[in-house]
Amino acid sequence: MAREERKNIKNIAIIAHVDHGKTTLVDEMLHQSGIFRDNEVVQERVMDSNDLEKERGITILSKNTSIHYKDTKINIVDTPGHADFGGEVERILTMVDGVLLVVDAFEGCMPQTRFVLKKALGLHKTPLVVVNKIDRDGARPAEVIDEVLDLFIELGADDDQIDFPVIYASAREGYSSTDPTVREGDMRPLLDAILKYIPSPVGDPDGPAQILFSSLEYDDYVGRIGVGRVERGTIKVNTPYVLCRQDGTQENVKFTKMYQFEGLKRVACDSAEFGDLVSIAGIADLNIGETACDPEHIEPLPFVKIDEPTISMNFIVNDSPFAGREGKYVTSRNLRDRLFKEVETNVSMRVEETDSMDTFKVSGRGELHLSILIETMRRENYEFQVSRPQVITKTDANGKVLEPMETAIVEVPEEYVGAVMTKLCSRKGEMINMDTRPTGMTHMEIKIPSRGLIGYRSEFLTDTNGNGIMNQLFAGYEEWHGDIETRSRGSIVVHETGTTTGYGLWNTQDRGRLFVGPGVDVYEGMIVGECAKDEDIVCNVCKKKHVTNTRASGSDEALKLVPPTTLSLEQSMEFLADDELLEVTPKSIRLRKTILSKELRLKAENRAKKG
* Other CB atoms within 10 A of residue 231 CB: 22
Tell me the chain's radius of gyration from C-alpha atoms: 27
Selection from 73, 91, 97 nearest residue 201 by Cα: 97
Three-state DSSP class for 87? helix
Q: How far apart are CA 147 and CA 370, in angstroms?
A: 33
Q: How far apart are CA 333 and CA 314, in angstroms?
A: 15
Query: 265-282 burial by CB neighbour count: b if 16+ within 10 A, else e?
Result: ebeebeebbbbbbbbbbb
* Other CB atoms within 10 A of residue 513 CB: 14
Cα dihedral 121→126→130→131 (10° resolution): 40
Q: How far apart are CA 222 and CA 581, in angstroms?
A: 38
Three-state DSSP class for 569? helix
Contact 81, 110 (CB under 8 A): no
**Any alpha helices (H) in 123-247, and if so which ranges?**
141-154, 159-162, 188-197
H-run or E-run covering 99: strand 98-104
- For 279-309, give the DSSP string: EEE--TT--TT-EEE-TTS--PPP-PPPPPP
Contact 307, 474 (CB under 8 A): yes
Selection from 198, 177, 99, 95 nearest residue 135 by Cα: 177
Does 369 show up as a binding residue in the annotation? no
Does 481 show up as a binding residue in the annotation? no
Residues in Cβ contact with 439 at an 8 Å cutoff, skipping those fewer than 6 apart: 138
Does 48 show up as a binding residue in the annotation? no
Interstrand relation of 126-132 and 98-104 (parallel, antiparallel or unpaired): parallel
Does 132 show up as a binding residue in the annotation? yes
Does 133 show up as a binding residue in the annotation? yes
Does 219 show up as a binding residue in the annotation? no
* CA dihedral (345, 346, 352, 356) positive or negative: negative
Does 548 show up as a binding residue in the annotation? no
Selection from 374, 396, 419, 559 nearest residue 480 by Cα: 396
Q: How far apart are CA 593 and CA 113, in angstroms?
A: 40
- The DSSP call for residue 546 is P
Does 19 show up as a binding residue in the annotation? yes
Three-state DSSP class for 429? coil
CA angle 153, 157, 162 (to 5 degrees): 75
Q: How far apart are CA 158 and CA 375, in angstroms?
A: 42
Does 507 show up as a binding residue in the annotation? no
Three-state DSSP class for 32? helix
Contact 114, 153 (CB under 8 A): no
Interstrand relation of 126-132 and 166-170 (parallel, antiparallel or unpaired): parallel
Contact 471, 112 (CB under 8 A): yes
Does 345 show up as a binding residue in the annotation? no
* Other CB atoms within 10 A of residue 578 CB: 9
Q: Which residues are annotated as a binding site for GTP?
A: 19-24, 132-135
Binding-site entries: 19-24, 132-135
